[in-house]
Amino acid sequence: MTATSEPRLKITYATLRNDNEQLHAQYDAGLAVARAELGGTHGLFINGEWRPAPKTFEKRSPIDGSLVGIFASGNKKDVQDAVAAARAASPGWARTAWLERVAIMRRMADLISERQMELAALMAIEVGKNRLEALGDVEESADLIRYYCDQVVANDGFDRPMGNLGDPTVHTRSVLKPHGVWAIISPFNFPMALSGGPSGGALVAGNAVVYKPSSDAPMCGVKLAEIADLAGLPRGVFNMVSGPGATVGQELQENEGIDGMLFTGSYEIGFNHVFKEFSRVFPKPVIVEMGGKNPAIVSARADLEEAAEGVMRSAFGYGGQKCSACSRVYVQAPVYDAFLEALIAKTQAIAVGDPTDKKNWLGPLVNAKAKAKYEAAIAEVTRDGRIVTGGKLLEGQGTDLYVAPTVVADLPADHHIWRDELFVPLVAVAKVDSLDEAFERANDTIYGLTAGFFSDDHEEVERFKEVSQAGVIYINRRAGATTGAWPGIQPFGGWKGSGTTGKASGGLYYVQQFMREQSQTLVD
Ligand code: NAD
C-alpha cells in the first residue's frame, strides 16, 4: 500500500531538507494511513503464521499517550517454537540459489520503500522521531538490505575458485555458507534500520532468523514481519517474537538451536550478558553492537558556525537517543567562548513538540526511564558543573516526556558524565589547551563508536584521523558532527566497548559475518 501515487523521493539523513513540500504532503498522507492502524491487537509471527499470545502488553505513544496497539508478550515456549520453525526452514533456504534469495530480499527492500511514509509515521508515533529522522530510519533499513544484496552479487555469492600450485587435477573453491539460524535482537532507537538491516544481512546470506523487536517499538517489529511475509520469504525463514528482554531475549541467548547472535543495544546487556553468555558448548558467532560516548573536537582553526551546527544536530537529533549522538565537545581555548555562544543560539532555536508536526524538530523522550535519567543528570550537573542552556522539563505538551535540549559546562574532567552514555539530549562542553589534550580525552572511554573533528588545517585533520579510536569519524560535517551514516556511504560500526567485530554495517565486510567459510578441494 502506498500513501500516494507520486514518485518516491530519495531519502538519507544528510540530504533531506525540511522545506520540501512534496515530501511533507506525502508524509501527511502516510500519517493518515498510520493513524488508521493504531489501537489494534497484534500477535507473534512464527512459522509463517500470526499467533496470539496469552499475555499482552500495551504500547502507548510518547507523543500524547495514545494507544499504539496491544502486542503479544512472547514467552520461552514461543521462542522455542520460533527456533524450531527456523531450524526446519533453514536447510531449504540455504539451498535456495543465492540469486533467488537476493531477488526476494530486494522485493522486501522495495516493499519497505513503497510504504516509507506510513512506516515513518508509525515509527514517529511509536518512538517519537521527527519526520525526517523517521523517514531516514525506514529508508536506511531498505538500503541496508539492498546493499547486502549488492555485496552478495558483487562477490558471486561468495563461491570462489582458489589456487592449485599449477596442478590442473586439483580444484579448490572457497565457499561461504550460512550458519543456520540467527537471532536478531533490536533496540528502540532505530527500530526499522536495526531490525531490517541485520535481518536482511542474515537472510540474504542464507540463514533463517528469529527476531525480537524492542518493547518500545513493537509496531515496527510487526510491520517488518508483515513485509517479510509479503516479500515471499518461505514459511519459517523469518520469525518475529515480541516480548521482554528478560524472557524472549534471554531464551534466544540460551537456546541451543540458535547458531549466531546479532544484538544491538546497551553495553550493559550486550557485553555483560549477550557477549559473555551466548556460547556455551562451543564458540558461536556473536555480533554485539553497543553504545557510544561520542566526542566532537573543535580546533582553533575550525569554521565555528559549521562546528556549532554539526554538534547541535548530533547532540539533539532524536533527543540524543542515538548510539552515535554527540555527548561531549572539546574546544580549543581561543575559540571556546565563540563556539559556546553559537551552540547556545542554535540550541535555543530548536522547535520542540509533537514530532509528527512538520514545524517541530525535537519530540519527546521515549519513555519514563529516559526522563528519569535526564532528571538525574540535570541534578548532578547543577551540583557539579553549570547548565548553560536547557536543563528543564517542558510543560504543556502531550505527555510529561518533553525536555529541553541541554548544554552543560564546567564539569570536572574526571566526572562520570564524560564517560557514561546517558542517551538524553545533554551535551557537555570543555575548554582544552591543546589538540593533543582533546584527542586524549576523546579516546579516554571504553566506547569507540563515532567521533567528529572541525578544523581547516590539513595537518590537524591528518593527526585526528591517525589517533582517533572510533569506528566512524567525520571531519567538518555540518549535517552532523558524529551522526548520520548511510549504507554504502559510511560503514557504521564501533570499536572497543561499542562493538565486537570491527566490521561495520552497511560496509564491505558485513554480510560475510553471517556465513562461515568452507574450503572444498576436489582431485580428478
Ligand atoms: P537495551 O540494551 O536496553 O535493549 C536492546 C534489546 O535487548 C531490546 O530488544 C531488549 O528487550 C533486549 N534485552 C534486554 N535484556 C535482554 C537480555 N537479558 N537478553 C537479551 N536481550 C535483552 O537498549 P535500548 O535502550 O533499546 O537501546 C539503546 C542502546 O542501544 C544504547 O546503548 C545505544 O547506544 C545502543 N545502540 C547501539 C547501536 C550501534 O550500532 N552500536 C545502534 C543503536 C543503539
Task: Say if ligand 1 is within 6 A of residue 275 CB.
Answer: no
Write the residue with the smallest CA distance to atom 22 of ligand 1.
Answer: 245
Residue with cell 551466548: 278
Task: Say if ligand 1 is within 6 A of residue 271 CB.
Answer: no
Give me ligand 1 centre to Cα 503, in Å: 19
Burial of 288 (0-12, 13-18, 19+ CB in 10 A): buried
Task: Say if ligand 1 is within 6 A of residue 137 CB.
Answer: no
- Report the predicted TM-score, pTM, of the whole model to 2 decimal places: 0.97
What's the pLDDT at 9? 67
Give me ligand 1 centre to Cα 269, in Å: 7
Give me ligand 1 centre to Cα 189, in Å: 9
Nearest atom within ligand 1 for CA of residue 213: 9
Give me ligand 1 centre to Cα 55, in Å: 22
What's the pLDDT at 22? 87
Which entry of 149, 220, 323, 326 is annotated as an active-site residue?
323
**Please, what's the largest Cα pairwise distance for the chain?**
79
Task: Say if ligand 1 is within 6 A of residue 498 CB.
Answer: yes
- 323 in catalytic set: yes
**Mean pLDDT value of segment 433-440:** 98
Measured distance CA(492)–CA(233) in Å, rounded: 27
**Mean pLDDT value of segment 265-270:** 98
**Mean pLDDT value of segment 500-513:** 97
Query: 443 and 435 in contact (C-beta within 8 Å)?
Result: no
DSSP 488: T
Measured distance CA(3)–CA(349) in Å, rounded: 32
Question: Is the pLDDT assigned to residue 319 strictly greater than 70?
Answer: yes
What's the pLDDT at 484? 96
Measured distance CA(199)–CA(505) in Å, rounded: 12
CA dihedral 395, 400, 406, 412 (to 10 degrees): 120
Task: Say if ligand 1 is within 6 A of residue 496 CB.
Answer: no
Short-list 210, 214, 217, 221, CA closest to 253: 210
Question: Is the pLDDT assigned to residue 4 strictly greater than 70?
Answer: no
What's the pLDDT at 1? 36
Which entry of 133, 289, 309, 460 is annotated as an active-site residue?
289
E-strand spans in 400-457?
406-409, 426-432, 447-448, 450-454
332 band by pLDDT with thresholds 50, 70 and 90: very high
pLDDT digit string, tens, across residues 57-102: 999 999 999 999 999 999 999 999 999 999 999 999 999 999 999 9
Q: To which H or E segment does residue 339 belong?
A: helix 336-348
Task: Say if ligand 1 is within 6 A of residue 249 CB.
Answer: yes
